[in-house]
């Protein structure tokens, strides 16, 4: 089973700041990685797939990068609506697995 490790567990930042979230896979997964955003009481929302392709209607301030085992989600300038929990997910093989999440909170 592929293990996905996200860091940091919590990121404290102010609106307007840049946020960098990391995700590491236990084995090489090429670019088969997605990122999700989840707000309290809501279903997750797909942000990025293929490590760097933004999903429909996702603002350009969200960008993904990386391949192999190391991946990054960058939010270039945090907006109030971006404070949430973010998950990475691999789809290199079965079973699909998620990272433990990074909570982005207001500093």
Partner 1 sequence: EVQLMESGGGLVQPGGSLRLSCAASGFTFNNFGMNWVRQAPGKGLEWVSYITESGTGIYYADSVKGRFSISRDNGKNSLYLQMNSLRAEDTAVYYCARDGAPGATTFDYWGQGTLVTVSS
Contact segment (CB under 8 A) with partner 1 among 10-18, 20-28, 43-51, 65-73 equals 43-51
Say whether residue 43 binds partner 1 (CB under 8 A). yes
Q: Please, are residues 72 and 22 in contact by the beta-carbon 8 Å criterion? A: yes
Q: How far from the centroid of its chain's Cα atoms is residue 40's Cα?
A: 16
Q: Which of 90, 86, 68 is nearest to 20 (CA)?
A: 86
Contact 76, 32 (CB under 8 A): no
Per CB under 8 A, the list member of 21, 29, 36, 64 interacting with partner 1 is 36
* Contact status, residue 26 vs residue 3, Cβ threshold 8 Å: yes
Residue 49 CB, nearest distance to partner 1 (Å)?
4
- The residue (of 18 and 40) whose beta carbon lies closer to partner 1 is 40
Q: Which of residues 5-34 bind partner 1 (CB under 8 A)?
A: 32, 34
- Binder of partner 1 out of 15, 96, 105, 106 (CB under 8 A): 96
Q: State the Rg of the chain over Cα.
A: 13
- What would you measure as the largest C-alpha separation in the chain, in angstroms? 38
Task: Compare residues 14 and 42 and give the one whose CB is closer to partner 1.
Answer: 42
Residue closer to partner 1 (CB basis): 62 or 87:
87
């Amino acid at each position: 089973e592929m293990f996905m490790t996200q860091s940091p567990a919590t990121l404290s930042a102010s609106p307007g700041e840049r946020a960098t979230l990391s995700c590491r896979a236990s084995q090489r997964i090429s670019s088969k990685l997605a990122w999700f955003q989840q707000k309290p009481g809501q279903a997750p929302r797909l942000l990025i797939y293929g490590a760097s392709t933004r999903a429909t209607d996702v603002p350009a301030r969200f960008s993904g990068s990386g391949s192999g085992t190391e991946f990054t989600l960058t939010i270039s300038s945090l907006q109030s609506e971006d404070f949430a929990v973010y998950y990475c997910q691999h789809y290199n093989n079965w079973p699909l697995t998620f990272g433990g999440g990074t909570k982005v909170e207001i500093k």
